[in-house]
Structure 1
Amino acid sequence: MMKILFILCLLFCTNTFSQDDAVAKDYFNKGDFEKALYEYKKLYAKSPSNINYINQLVITHQQLEQYNEAEVFLLRLINRIKYPAFFVELGYNYQLKNDLENANLYYQKAINSLDENVNNAFSVARSFQNHTLLNETITVYEKAMVLKPELNFKFQLAKIYGEQGNVEKMFVSYIEFAEKNPVSLNNIKRFINDFISENSANENNILFKKVLLKKMQQEPNLLWNEMLSWLFIQQKDFKKAFIQEKAIFSRQPESLSRIEELANIAVNENYNEVAEEIFEFLIETAQDLETQLYAHYNLLQLETKASLSDNYEAINNKYLELFKEFGIFPQTLKLQVAYAHFLAFYNDEIDDAIDFLENTLKLPLTEFEKAEVKLELGDILVLQEKFNKALIYYTQIQRNLKNSTLSQEARYKVAKTSYFKGDFKWAESQLKILKASTSQLIANDALDLKLLITDNKYEDSLQTALKLYSKADLLAFQNKDDEAILVLNTILENHKTEPIVAQALFKQAQLFEEKAQFEKAQTNYELIIANYRDGILVDDAYYKLAHIYEQYLNEPEKAKVLYEQIIFNHVDSIYFVEARKKYRALRGDAIN
């Protein structure tokens, strides 16, 4: 019983303290320092060893320019509590009084306290840093590491050097900290990333590269190769990154995962020539079947994407050679599905593709592997506009793999197929469920399609424009881009007052980009910006148009203006972070 009463009493006291503390903070934040001082004195009287209350009392005295009162309080405190950080507070109080002699005297006392107990370093350094006394903070950390070499304050020092603009010292400190604490490497990269850009000619990029090369000469360590590779990736210089990754692999040949990751990044950034070179290296180097098949698969995807129809026979033969070499069994499933997709969507051999996949289903596959095959079969049937048959395959996946990501993907394809059919009501009902999908990509796609249907289904009782748009969408899915563009033109000419016009302009612009018709895409994006400034596609249009100006039309100043629009007027845009990064790179910031 007594124990319960004690706990209740403790909770009551804690609650009272927190309420009083909140009152004091509120007065202080409002600038009502007299009342704040009164409240902090009460709190200090109840808890005279609370560092937070002590510091707030001193600061409040100083806000009221009661420097003598703060001095008396601190001198009494120093006699009562041996806490060297109070020397810093007293020194700073003297500095506020313009008594620099006494200020420096107490600063030195704080620094000298490390000779008695090096563990004072953190609290003393923090007090110096709180008052932006950065040189003194550096002195404390450096002295502590001399007195006790196992201490590592390189991370703290790096941040201070960054604040001072001493970028070279900052880089050195960060990588030396990472050397001793490799688990922190990702965090270190994030901090360094604020000081470099995509531009390899950026002063800080050159400086960071110089620091790493110097380290490599002085004390070889794979960490320096890894950091150099990372720098080159930020600069999109994937060929140089590949050289570093090969150097790492030659000394640590246990895994090719880093090189695989680099290949994927190069593909995502559309640096396909370098990606092909990396995949070829993987094929030549890998000892395991999985990595070899992975590289062959990706190499064929790149080749297919870049090829014209007169080269499809060569691609077809490569698939057949791979099946001859590796066999048709579950381990080559991804390659088999890719081959069927190639036959149907590129080589116009739809029946052969379906026969091939139906034979694949006869292999001893898991339910998930069967689902991958059925998803492709469904897509091929949609390509043929055999929507009902496609829905059968998608529905089977939903039934057999409930709540899985593949099941959610199948549900999305059910919705998309229903939308292609013009059954917008059923499509919308499926999309509502998918808004909560565990896959963010599926959830986003579902939301986009649902908004398209919802925003346009009531505009026209016959839903003519929406049906035309879904027809264009289907044609694009069927790789019939020219026909899709013509259907979208019909919407733009005959449904000028309907809200779907913005969507039609955007979809058409994307198709123009795929056909490398960048001036036409530019016109569409400009029309969206001019006429649909309050619509949901305006930030997309700004970003896409900026990308065209920057990458294809060689007009960086125009791109910069568009990125700026996103930064200042669309802070909730998914493009905000990337737009800010690109804007700063175009502006030529030395430090972000």
Structure 2
Amino acid sequence: MKRSILYKILLVSFLVLPSVISGQDAETKYKLAQNYERSGNFEKAENLLNELIEQQPWNYSYFNSLYNIYIKQKKYDEAVGIISQRLTYSPNDPSLYGLMGSVYFMKEMSDSAYFYWDKGIETNPSSISTYRIIANYAIESRALDRALEYLKMGRQLSSDKSIFTLDLANIYSLTLRYKEATLEYCYLLSIKPDQIGLVKTKFNSYSGNKKALDEITETLESYYKENPQPIYLDLIAYCNMLNGNYNAALNFTIEYEKKINGNGASIYSMAQTALRSKAYDAALTGYRYIVDNFPGSNIVPIAKISRVETLRAKLNKNPKNDLWHYAKIIDTVEYKRLSEEYKKIAGEYVNSNIFIQALYSRAEIEFENLRNYRLADSIFTIINLRAPGTEYSAKAFLKRGLIAIYSDNLEQAKTFFDNILLNNKLSADLKAEAYFRKAKIDFWQNYFESALSNLKSASGDLSSAFANDAIELSALISTLKRDSSNLAIYAKSDLFAFQKKYEEAVALLKDLIKRDNLFILKDFALYRLAEVNIYTKSYGEALEYLKELTGKSENGILSDKALLLTAQIYQYGLKDESKAGELYENFLEKYPDSLYLETAIQNLNYIQTKKGKDG
């Protein structure tokens, strides 16, 4: 009995072991062939793979590897040969006919390619997947018209008439047939309206292509006339928006809202988009329409305040920068009107978030544009009382601190800035500004070590709007604090300039630049004199002071900043954008590592874009 069992075990081992060894040998050969292929030794790889296929003609991995090697070497006849060989084992595999057609297409024998692709369809003409498989081979070969035929044939067989719609639209787009592509998307939406988001994403890819968007929009409008469903109005509005036609976009959005009996949400969204793109008139039309036509909608309060914010944005066309903000001519009548509108909105919505937003915007106008500091401070105080701990409250403390500085109450200003720093939930930018403002007060009061400590905190996040100024002031104090008497004079002039006591500031600064052996401090005094002259619109004098700085070595501590300010004078002050553009280009060439590089690039891009539109 035992001998019988042992005999059987030995017999099985002798039968199985050769196949195991053979399998291990095949795997080793296959890995070796792959290594040869990777190293570019295709001949050795071919030989090994042919041996393997002879042993295992059914193995697809060996076949596919050999096929790819032939294609890489453009051995198309050999590729045809191994496909034909494999077809003897799998005569009903559409992929093999797809491959055969692709090889003939590479050989520039399109009729033969079409013959084999058609044969692939014949393997299983009732299966939808067959049409997709063969169409994919045609697409890969860039035989796009043939691919369209196969996809259309497949769609006719399917009960799901939306099948292949996206594939067809993609091919039409690739061949610049935007009308046909758009009709496919419309057909898809007629069956599956929930795909509107996907279709918008597809159209978004045409952003910046005016010709395509014009054809798409025209096709959509024609389609809507025959199929007056609201979803197409939404799509027409979206395409007009992509094309920068915000007035048309808004009109179609209004029509869309009428059709769906909406509450104005789509109109508000489009108005917001127009506002972000600085299409102020379209945005204003949208907000006004909501207020006039949806009196019961919960969107009305935000539409009201957004309308006033848009009017304010139209007035604030100069850069968001204190220097140029105070140099511009203020239209007090318009700003007073805006202040009153904010006051009215705040009165309407006392118990909502709109109340605080309206109060803050009104106080900003009174502070920044009308310079009515007493009224602004009283409104900011209300915000601190009504919305403690909020970002609006922190911003109000910042503004109250600035007002206190203008009133020469530096200690009170510090208290306001400290209130911000006590709130750990505020943004890093707000805290950076609070630290910077405190540092400036320390600087003006000649507490240089304390100033350095606060400046370190202000520059901790280099992305902060105050990081560059903090670094610059820190460098100045660290370098010159031993010459405390001259540094104190400069600090005093800096305070006067901040408080808009320009005559006092100029007197101190001019005294400084006449002194001997000041070097770095003289450069800072020259730069500050230029800024003060910009405040008073004395652009010629400002340029003279900056010329002294830009005429020095490119390695001067303020050389890059002086050149940037010179360009800004031409852009914003003298309105000579051509000269400003030249100076920005000069800046980019001279100072590619400057802290102010991003500002120069943005300003230059603005000038070039505007020039392109005007041209």
Q: Normalising to structure 1: TM-score of the pair?
A: 0.73
Closer, same or farther in 2 for the Cα pair 1:316/1:472, shift >3 Å?
Answer: farther
Alignment partner of 1:108 is 2:90: no
Closer, same or farther in 2 for the Cα pair 1:119/1:313, shift >3 Å?
Answer: closer
Alignment partner of 1:74 is 2:83: yes
Closer, same or farther in 2 for the Cα pair 1:89/1:355, shift >3 Å?
Answer: same
Q: Kindly report which structure 2 residues correspond to 1:392-541, keeping only aligned pairs within 5 A, or say none.
A: 392-400=415-423, 402=424, 404=425, 406-418=426-438, 420-421=440-441, 425-426=452-453, 429-431=456-458, 433-434=460-461, 443=463, 445=465, 464=521, 480=535, 482=537, 490-494=545-549, 496-497=552-553, 498-507=556-565, 509-510=567-568, 513=571, 517-519=575-577, 521-522=580-581, 524-529=583-588, 531-532=590-591, 535=594, 541=600
In 1, Cα distance between equivalents of 2:32 and 2:270: 51
String of CA shifts for 1:225-270, please: whole Å, max 9, x gaps: 2222222222322111110110111123444333223222322322
Deviates more, 1:491-500 or 1:220-229: 491-500
Deviates more, 1:266-275 or 1:424-433: 424-433
1:141 to 151, 154, 158: 151
AA aligned opposite 2:143? L
In 2, Cα distance between equivalents of 1:18 and 1:182: 55
In 2, Cα distance between equivalents of 1:141 and 1:106: 16
AA aligned opposite 1:309? T
2:168 to 139, 144, 157: 157
In 1, Cα distance between equivalents of 2:193 and 2:474: 51
Larger Rg: 2
1:374 to 394, 398, 422: 394
In 2, Cα distance between equivalents of 1:268 and 1:473: 34
1:378·1:391 contact (CA, 8 Å) conserved in 2? no
SS in 1 for 2:93: coil
Closer, same or farther in 2 for the Cα pair 1:269/1:117, shift >3 Å?
Answer: closer
Equivalence for 1:561: none
In 2, Cα distance between equivalents of 1:265 and 1:177: 27
AA aligned opposite 1:91? G
Alignment partner of 1:122 is 2:128: no
String of CA shifts for 1:133-183, please: whole Å, max 9, x gaps: 222222221111111041521222222223333333233334444555556
1:212·1:228 contact (CA, 8 Å) conserved in 2? yes
Higher relative contact order (CA 8 A, sep 6+): 1
In 1, Cα distance between equivalents of 2:49 and 2:540: 71
Equivalence for 1:90: 100
2:104·2:110 contact (CA, 8 Å) conserved in 1? yes
String of CA shifts for 1:176-208, please: whole Å, max 9, x gaps: 44555556545544544444536xxx4323311
SS in 2 for 1:367: coil
In 2, Cα distance between equivalents of 1:154 and 1:56: 34
In 1, Cα distance between equivalents of 2:59 and 2:598: 50
AA aligned opposite 2:604? L
Deviation of the 1:132 alpha carbon? 2.2
Alignment partner of 1:547 is 2:580: no
In 2, Cα distance between equivalents of 1:357 and 1:175: 53
1:213 to 213, 216, 221: 221
AA aligned opposite 1:124? I
Equivalence for 2:380: 357
Residue correspondences, number: 523
AA aligned opposite 1:367? G
In 2, Cα distance between equivalents of 1:22 and 1:485: 78
String of CA shifts for 1:87-143, please: whole Å, max 9, x gaps: 121233345567666543322111334523222233222222222222222222111
Deviates more, 1:501-510 or 1:273-282: 501-510
Alignment partner of 1:319 is 2:346: no
2:302·2:354 contact (CA, 8 Å) conserved in 1? no
Equivalence for 2:319: none
Deviation of the 1:61 alpha carbon? 1.9
In 2, Cα distance between equivalents of 1:237 and 1:44: 63
In 1, Cα distance between equivalents of 2:227 and 2:154: 24
Equivalence for 2:18: none
Equivalence for 1:9: none
Equivalence for 2:259: 251
Equivalence for 2:67: 58
SS in 2 for 1:80: coil
Equivalence for 2:12: none
AA aligned opposite 1:138? L
Closer, same or farther in 2 for the Cα pair 1:418/1:119, shift >3 Å?
Answer: same
Closer, same or farther in 2 for the Cα pair 1:89/1:184, shift >3 Å?
Answer: same
Q: Kindly report which structure 2 residues correspond to 1:174-213, keeping only aligned pairs within 5 A, or say none.
A: 174-177=185-188, 180=191, 185-186=196-197, 188-195=199-206, 197=208, 202-213=210-221
In 2, Cα distance between equivalents of 1:470 and 1:50: 79
Closer, same or farther in 2 for the Cα pair 1:148/1:493, shift >3 Å?
Answer: same
In 1, Cα distance between equivalents of 2:394 and 2:538: 28
Equivalence for 2:180: 169
Q: Point out where structure 1 has 5 or more consecutive residues left out of the alignment.
A: 1-12, 436-442, 557-592
1:272 to 271, 280, 284: 280
AA aligned opposite 1:502? D
Q: Kindly report which structure 2 residues correspond to 1:572-587, keeping only aligned pairs within 5 A, or say none.
A: none
2:93·2:123 contact (CA, 8 Å) conserved in 1? no
1:44·1:50 contact (CA, 8 Å) conserved in 2? yes
